[in-house]
Amino acid sequence: MKKKRFWKNAGLVALSGLMVGGAALAFTACGGSGGGRSDYELSVYIFCSTADADTNEAICNSWAEKYSREHADELGGNKITVDFQSEPKSDEYYRQLGNQLGTSDFPDIIYVSPSQVVSYAASGHILNLTDYITASQETIDRVSGIWQNSLGFYATSGNLLNMKRAGGIAYEQGTGFYDPTTENKEAVDIYGLPKDYSTFGLGYNRNYFSDAFKAAYTTLKPSSGDRSVRAHLYNNKKVVTEGAALHEGKDETSITYAIAVNSSDNVTNEYTGKAITAKAGDPAPFINIGIPTRYKPFNFYKYATYEDALSKGDPLALSTRQFTGGNGYVITIPGFPGEYFDTVGEDGSEIYANSVNEEAPYDATRGNIVLTWAEYGALTWACTYMLNSFAWDSASGMKEAANDGSQESDYSEWFSGEGGVYTTAGYHNVYGGQQYENGDGGNLYVLPWLFSNDATYINTDYTKSINETKDGKAIAEQNGSGDWVWTGDATDNTNVRNRVGDATEDVSKINLDGTTRTAKVQYGINSENFIETYGAFHEHIATWNADVGQAGDVVNSAEDKNINGQTAFIMGASLFYGLGTWDISEYQEVDLEVLDLGIMPTAVSNKLSLYAQGRSAYYADESGAAQVITYSNGATVKGTGSDAGTATGSKGDYTQRDPMSSGLQVYDETEIRQNQILRQDKWAGRLDSVGYGVSAAVENDADWVANAAVSLVMELTLGEEAQVTLTYGGAQIPNVISQCDEYLNYDQEGYEDGAFKDMITPEGDAQGNDVWDQYYEIARRMASAGMNGSTQTVSEFLAGETITIGGEETPVKYDEQYANVRLSDFTTAVTSQTRIAYAMRVLRMNSYTRVERDILIRMVTGMNAVHDQTLYTASTGWIGALNATTNSAMFLAYINQETLEGTEQAILQSTALSESQLGVGGGKSFMTPAVYCTRQSLTSQNYLTDGT
């Protein structure tokens, strides 16, 4: 049964008619000067995985055959070949390429990073592609059909003497390509074409958020059952139970109801159907949707209860007591990862005001559950607490609950044994995930959080990573030597707030209804909004214990442990991990029973919380009293235009309740969804790109070389068949906008002839048949045969293979370009070797659901996107300057592996609240996130200024 879509984007329909997928493109208006290349070989050098190398080389070879056939006269009957070379590591690639560029002897086609475009172009290394692109309307249309923000990475303005990156790119008949950010439509040149528009968001393991688990999370309590469940610790690189917590159902204080839930509230657990009533202070389930819940985080790997953890020096528990007065943090969780809701009614009208953009290339009829920083932390801690304190798993799989799973007693089989997940190596702890804050991590993990709070590392012209003014007065300036120093009130180092800037830039952001808002974005790592965000990022570890490397599950020290975030994720022992579009093949290599990969929106500002509390990044107010900040969003209608508001204020979508205590209430589904609408355009994934450039030397070569090289680049970046192959291979989503539409809606009415009509997803095939499980079992068998050395080809293995549809046997469909590939030649991923991912690409399988494909497209549209902060800086030292892990012993976020006993408990009193208190003179060895940000801001700015 075909599914009917609510509407179809007219703009995308028009674009699809412009795309050309047949003949290899020729450029008759351009060419070389007839110089001397004796052979007919083009050289290509890129970085990519082994599996992607096979795919890209196949695309190159297919293009060469087609181009040689279609341009036989021009080539004198000769056939072009492609010398394809790749390097799996990007840093090694750029090192080798740099050496080659230094000798001016480098391949015809190379990867070009956006940060290198101006320097490569100005130095004459890469070819200006503009004349080739504008040689015909066909090529103009093709280039205009990709995401223009990605094309803009490779656009420059000015001449070779004063070249600069363009502010953007657009095309107009008669004007050509121009910079739309300039008043006079300044002309731009194009020096590369984007290989992709890469997103990096938040991945999660769907296995931990099944209906069965949701019922358990919302039914079981830390006090549940007469149980005896052993947790695990690491000792000398081995998982042991000695010394780990023994959970016996006696913890009645770590998770409690923050308010009473009365029968008149009509609250029902949507996962079990059970009515909920409770008194304030009663023990509560691990997760309570829409109900303010009081959490007292502690290290449940090592300690059985919050009180036990307090008595034995657990830094998590001690910190909770000190900063909340023992009251814990009240958090209202709105839903689980992967959940979504309708924004459009059955009659096609919007349910929530200002929530639908009918021209959007994503599915505007749905909204996704988005968590705030505090909600994400609390959910992570609570879920992992349950998973490690109940014996839910076994060698034969998850133990089933009795009856409907709505009563604590239904889980009696979970009350004895070992907690955690059963892996091939035995039982193992389950973790929240792992986030990083070094140079790469800052871009991948911190940056998306900043987006939601209208903060950024660096200003829009990439010259300032310090916020140099406060209340209109200078707090930092360059001295006579060109170094940045504190000035004015900021020279007083006894009050950290003197060094916190509040200068903003106006940045246009896209609203959910398609309008734009002018956000007042604070730049610099010492800005108010940056510090608030960075503090929350530390809290994810320091309070919510959500980092694999800092989980405190060691007998002696961190050296006892040898597992990182990616390893835990791949072995099915982690809920969350960062996910790039290029990662899908890596994670599809893991069997679905271990890792069922999903993608979800990143966490957003606490200012959008229903009701939540979090420790201040300053740790204390101006009087020195411990500071916990309460947030409760009071916006009742989604804003439109600039009325959507900005995080640098308290209006629009960021409005806070007054009084804040009025937010301490039970929230029904309507109230939760209305609040969720505010968040839909506030989350972001990090976007960047790498593109293909052509050596400028080709224009001095034989006439055919430049034309052929540009044609090959067009095929690799715009070729419809190539884009489909790369997408199935798990390397990216399509560059071509119309193909993204087809990728999202492959199984919808009107897409019968779309580029992805053969795709198989968890929702089935394009005809609506539920065939995923059958295809996946075939992929497993094919991969297993390859691992066992089978020399059968794909066509031989699949000959006679059928699936059952509607009671009838139907031949298995597959991508016939792999027909002659031997199963033993299937490549594997780096961190897992099963050959399943390769088998899935052969069968044109994609593990993303419609919701997840939609999330990817929302990112590339720009609504939910923030660009890598180092794309246009000469170096990355300035962003790497903010990396607390280099001095981990000075931060509460990075001491969870340690036990604080006796006098060491006083270390929590040794946290410097200002620069003057830190170190030998001040006598305090710890520092707050706020002190660290202000401390490093000068270092970062001087690195940026010096280009180091």
Residues 340 and 263 in one domain: yes
Question: Per the domain annotation, does 662 fall within a domain?
Answer: yes
Q: Residue type for 626, please?
A: A
Name the residue among 165, 190, 187 with its Cα closest to residue 178: 187
- pLDDT at residue 340 greater than cutoff 80: yes
How does the average pLDDT of the chain come out, rounded? 92
How many structural domains are present in the chain?
3
In tens, the pLDDT along 265-276 reads: 999 999 999 999
Using CA atoms, how far apart are residues 757 and 745, in angstroms rounded to an integer?
Answer: 9
In tens, the pLDDT along 52-77 reads: 888 899 999 999 999 999 999 999 99
pLDDT of residue 26: 54
Residue 775: phi, psi to the nearest 5? -65, -40
Tokens standing for residue 708: 């052929």
Cβ 747 vs Cβ 2: under 8 Å: yes
Cβ 434 vs Cβ 428: under 8 Å: no
Band (pLDDT 50/70/90 cuts) for residue 906 is low
pLDDT of residue 27: 54
- pLDDT at residue 2 greater than cutoff 80: no
In tens, the pLDDT along 796-816 reads: 999 999 999 999 999 999 999
Using CA atoms, how far apart are residues 898 and 570, in angstroms rounded to an integer?
Answer: 26
Residues 32 and 177 in one domain: yes
Question: Per the domain annotation, does 500 fall within a domain?
Answer: no
Residues 142 and 156 in one domain: yes
In tens, the pLDDT along 531-585 reads: 999 999 999 999 999 999 999 999 988 888 989 999 999 999 999 999 998 888 8
Q: What is the mean pLDDT of residues 28-43?
A: 65
Question: Per the domain annotation, does 488 fall within a domain?
Answer: no
Cβ 395 vs Cβ 206: under 8 Å: no
Question: Per the domain annotation, does 51 fall within a domain?
Answer: yes
Tokens standing for residue 533: 């965000």
Q: What is the mean pLDDT of residues 186-198?
A: 94
Residue 427: phi, psi to the nearest 5? -70, 145
Residues 719 and 613 in one domain: no
Which residue shows structure tokens 């609250």? 267
- pLDDT at residue 20 greater than cutoff 70: no
- pLDDT at residue 408 greater than cutoff 90: yes
Q: Among 822, 845, 868, where does a domain finish?
A: 845
Using CA atoms, how far apart are residues 645 and 641, in angstroms rounded to an integer?
Answer: 8
Using CA atoms, how far apart are residues 593 and 572, in angstroms rounded to an integer?
Answer: 9
Residues 334 and 221 in one domain: yes
pLDDT of residue 781: 98
Name the residue among 646, 736, 242 with its Cα closest to residue 454: 646
Using CA atoms, how far apart are residues 300 and 654, in angstroms rounded to an integer?
Answer: 35
Using CA atoms, how far apart are residues 304 and 246, in angstroms rounded to an integer?
Answer: 6
Question: Per the domain annotation, does 752 fall within a domain?
Answer: no
Question: Per the domain annotation, does 694 fall within a domain?
Answer: yes
pLDDT of residue 25: 55
Q: What does the angle CA 90 – CA 694 – CA 83 come to, to the nearest 5 degrees?
A: 70
Distances (CA, A) of 372 to 288, 297, 375, 472: 16, 18, 5, 31
Q: What is the mean pLDDT of residues 238-256?
A: 96
pLDDT of residue 399: 97
Band (pLDDT 50/70/90 cuts) for residue 732 is confident
Residues 341 and 310 in one domain: yes
Contacts of 912 (CB under 8 A, 6+ apart): 918, 919, 922, 924, 925, 926, 927, 928, 931
In tens, the pLDDT along 733-756 reads: 999 999 999 999 999 999 999 999
Band (pLDDT 50/70/90 cuts) for residue 282 is very high
Question: Where are the extended beta strands (E) located within 526-596?
Answer: 576-580
Q: Among 845, 879, 914, where does a domain finish?
A: 845
Question: Per the domain annotation, does 573 fall within a domain?
Answer: yes
Using CA atoms, how far apart are residues 625 and 620, in angstroms rounded to an integer?
Answer: 5
Using CA atoms, how far apart are residues 288 and 595, in angstroms rounded to an integer?
Answer: 25
Using CA atoms, how far apart are residues 608 and 632, in angstroms rounded to an integer?
Answer: 7
Which residue shows structure tokens 């070729």? 719
Question: Where are the extended beta strands (E) located within 743-827?
Answer: 802-805, 808-811
pLDDT of residue 55: 87
pLDDT of residue 899: 62
Using CA atoms, how far apart are residues 630 and 656, in angstroms rounded to an integer?
Answer: 10
CATH number for the domain spanning 734: value is: 3.40.190.10
Residues 261 and 193 in one domain: no
Q: Give a three-class secondary structure readout of 279-330.
A: CCCCECCCCCECCCEEECCCCCCCCCCHHHHHHCCCHHHHHHHHHHCCCCEE
pLDDT of residue 51: 78
Residues 224 and 356 in one domain: yes
Q: Give a three-class secondary structure readout of 465-482.
A: CCCCEECCEECEEECCCC
In tens, the pLDDT along 476-493 reads: 999 999 999 999 999 999
Tokens standing for residue 840: 């899935």
Cβ 125 vs Cβ 109: under 8 Å: no
Question: Per the domain annotation, does 495 fall within a domain?
Answer: no
Q: What is the mean pLDDT of residues 356-373?
A: 97
- pLDDT at residue 884 greater than cutoff 90: yes
Q: Among 845, 864, 892, where does a domain finish?
A: 845
- pLDDT at residue 234 greater than cutoff 80: yes
Higher pLDDT, 277 or 925: 277
Cβ 603 vs Cβ 375: under 8 Å: yes
- Virtual torsion, Cα 266, 267, 272, 278, nearest 10 deg: -110
Using CA atoms, how far apart are residues 360 and 743, in angstroms rounded to an integer?
Answer: 15
Strands 691-694 and 193-194: antiparallel
Band (pLDDT 50/70/90 cuts) for residue 828 is confident
Residues 143 and 188 in one domain: yes
Q: How close are the terminal C-alpha atoms of the chain, in Å?
A: 59
Residues 318 and 407 in one domain: yes
Using CA atoms, how far apart are residues 479 and 609, in angstroms rounded to an integer?
Answer: 43
Q: Residue type for 674, please?
A: Q
Residue 365's domain comprises 202-435+542-623+657-672
**What is the DSSP secondary structure assignment for residue 442, as one 8-state letter?**
I
> What one-character-per-residue DSSP string does 104-140 give?
T---SEEEE-GGGHHHHHHTT-B---HHHHTTSHHHH
Helix (H) or strand (E) run with residue 31 in it: none
Tokens standing for residue 448: 């998306």
pLDDT of residue 559: 83
Residues 111 and 244 in one domain: no
In tens, the pLDDT along 658-672 reads: 999 999 999 999 999
Residues 192 and 216 in one domain: no
pLDDT of residue 18: 27
